[in-house]
Amino acid sequence: MGSNVSRPRIGITTYLEPAAWGIWRREAALVPRVYLDAVVAAGGVPLLLPPVGTDPSILGVLDGLIIAGGCDVDPGAYAAAPHPETVDTRPDRDHHEAILIRAALDRDLPLLAICRGLQMLNVTLGGTLHQHLPDVVAHDDHRPEPAVFGSVEAKVEPGTLTARILGEHVFGSCYHHQALDVVAPGLKVTARADDGTVEAAEVEGHDFALGVQWHPEENPEDLRLFTALIRSTS
């Protein structure tokens, strides 16, 4: 007989991309499978949230929310002119995720924002972004080559949720050329890389509203962030 204990339902934002399956070549809502596997391995059930028909009431059936990584955030979202290296923006997705972020915070729904997700969390709350990080840190280590993850080490602020989950130092896989610049009101930086890049931040006044700049889903041997998200739903 099956268990009567339901697993936490975790929404994951997706994006629209040209995709291929069988003989078909059409636009599809997708997210890398590693996000799904991480949620399942941590004890949750993943539910995909496409950037169409956005309705924040859907959060009423969720136990937690993940804002996934992806393309550049449109600088129009924080009233900035586009940098030449800011490409492939998706304003519709930005709008979709901003609505879900605000609704999740209003409901105090456990929230984990990953890479672009941290950037969207900051922008949604009134912050800005460095549009091309190499201009600031003078290296490409955060995105060394197309489709090649870099490695990042970050020092974590003691006494924070981030530190309780991960300890004082973090090693992660990264792939981004944008990062937090002006930090939004109410958002507390909890980890930085040696070059000063913001690597984690938490929304003050919430039990679990955490964003990280690296990609924890890329390391299936370390599910601490996903496990913490699942545990926060109980």
Of 97, 199, 202, 217, the active-site residue reads 217
Q: Is 217 one of the catalytic residues?
A: yes
190's tokens:
């909890």
How many CB atoms sit inside 10 A of residue 81's CB?
A: 8
Contacts of 171 (CB under 8 A, 6+ apart): 151, 152, 153
Of 96, 115, 176, 177, the active-site residue reads 115
Of 130, 177, 215, 218, the active-site residue reads 215
Contacts of 79 (CB under 8 A, 6+ apart): none
81's tokens:
């002119």
Element (H, E) at 64: strand 64-67
How many CB atoms sit inside 10 A of residue 46's CB?
A: 18
Q: For residue 94, give the 3-state DSSP assignment.
A: helix
How many CB atoms sit inside 10 A of residue 207's CB?
A: 10
- Rounded to whole angstroms, the Cα distance separating 23 from 188 reads 48
Q: Is 174 one of the catalytic residues?
A: no
Give the count of alpha carbons within 13 A of 206, CB side only. 26
* Residues with active-site annotation: 115, 215, 217
